[in-house]
Structure 1
Amino acid sequence: MKLIAFLRAQIGFQGQENARRMGGKQRTVKNVWIYKIEPARNFMWVKGQVPGAEGSFVYIKDAVYKKPEISSLPFPTHFIPEGEDIDELEPLIADLGEVDPFMAAD
């Protein structure tokens, strides 16, 4: 009887998924909040999870499920005028109001 239980554990139990390779698939994280964009260094600060390995590419697009308020639509949209140097551009920072979400609470 012990031999049958041992073999069953090696094969896998009924309804149990087999171990598979993880990674290499597209992942979507919804409603990530963009805090700051620095065009001179090509940096973007976000509040939330960012999938992928360090140094990998991330595809960012507008929200689909939860549409933003109309008052906040222009940020972070910015088109660089022709002839303007990217290094001279000021960082775009979202209006946080009086409370900074990245600072620890007292």
Structure 2
Amino acid sequence: MVSGEIGAVLQAQSQTGRGRSDGPGWLDAPAAARRSTVWQAMGFVNSALAVPSPDALALLRARAYAEGTSLDELAARVLDRTVPLDDLAPDADSSR
């Protein structure tokens, strides 16, 4: 019980003291840290398929839904390059 409290205080202190000089404060929030994988995968899709970020996110969500997996899991696989980016293209299914 005491060790949990000490851990929570130390973690909060390290997050507070860390600071981010290159962006807004909300980027340090735990929710932002959890979604960073999705944001990186969106960037991969955005660049590779030349689609806007909202469309990149929609393509990732559609693929995750179709596979019955979470968006976070799919994003990790995109970053690991186990999901070919061409497979996420809007017309990829029509060529099969």
Superposition TM-score tier, normalisation by shorter sequence: under 0.3
* Higher RCO, 1 vs 2 (CA within 8 Å, ≥6 residues apart): 1
Greater strand proportion: 1
User: Larger Cα Rg: Structure 1 or Structure 2?
Assistant: 1
TM-score, length basis structure 2: 0.20
TM-score, length basis structure 1: 0.19
